Amino acid sequence: MNILSAFMISFLVAAVRCESDIDWNAHQWQAPLPTDLRGPCPGLNTLANHGFLPRNGSNITIPIVLKAINDGFNFESTNLIRSGAKLGLFTTDAEDSFNLNDLALHGTLEHDVSLSRSDFALGDNIHFNETVFSTLANSNPGVDFYNVTSAAQVLEQRLAEDNILNPTLINTVKEFTVRIVESGFYLSVMGNVTTGVAPKNFVQIFFQEERLPLEEGWKRSEVPIGDDNFNALLAGIKNASTWAPSGEVICPWIRIQPEGPVVVVKG
């Protein structure tokens, strides 16, 4: 390599860095190794596949996960994000960290009627399921974006599907809230937190490949996603949804242990 091309490459790298403060060279997508741990959350799996979280999916502390969500998604450490991260610790006996696969513990953060995973009672609640995801994938027909209206319709349709399939379905206000947050998440992180509009191809790559669609033109949100803009988006999705609790009633926010006591965190 001659000096001129070395200079041009470092100039290009600097220009790319300027754009978002993130060194994307150090955060390229890599498929997980067979020994790397992944879990039911496509967002955290994506952060691990890009090295914002440890690529092995292990020993994730609260500061590590908050920084990863901020760096990868420009999502601030809001009370909501901090609470979700702390709930992650309830899925493990470790003192101050969790592994991504721990999060599959049914009923803590993991929940029925996911956008991309089968219900716990129906089989594999960890890996991406194309049949489950087809409801979201096929929503908002005729246009190339998802929005608040389609996100609300998908929540209703997924619930109708699982109400038929799963007699042990858990659908309390907790599950509904988490599902709205997840919908707001893909609309804002893959799209625009202000308009609630996200390109379909970005959302599909995110769920299907657990990859940030950088090559396809995705950019980290230019505005930080924080309490005000995200809560407004959630309110829009909620307003567009009709929902009623159904199925088994179980106390929100519990730590279910096979042998140990059930710890009620917040009822």
For the residues of 74-134, what is the DSSP string, one character each? -B---HHHHHHHHHHHTT-SSSS-B-GGGGGSBTTTB-SS-SSS--GGGS-SSS--HHHHH
Choose which of 20, 70, 77, 97 interacts with ligand NAG (CB under 6 A): 97
Per-residue binder mask for ligand NAG (CB under 6 A), 150-179, x = binder? x--------------x--------------
Is residue 124 within 8 Å of residue 118, measured between CB atoms? yes
Choose which of 68, 132, 170, 180 interacts with ligand NAG (CB under 6 A): 132
| Cα dihedral 21, 25, 29, 35 sign | negative
CA distances from 139 to 14, 115, 135, 156, 157 (A): 39, 12, 6, 12, 10
Residue 133 or 174: the one with the smaller Cβ distance to ligand NAG is 133
Choose which of 177, 195, 201, 204 interacts with ligand NAG (CB under 6 A): 195
| Nearest distance, CB of residue 77 and ligand NAG, angstroms | 18
Residue 58 or 78: the one with the smaller Cβ distance to ligand NAG is 58
Asked if 148 interacts with ligand NAG (CB under 6 A), we say yes
Asked if 222 interacts with ligand NAG (CB under 6 A), we say yes
| Nearest distance, CB of residue 1 and ligand NAG, angstroms | 31
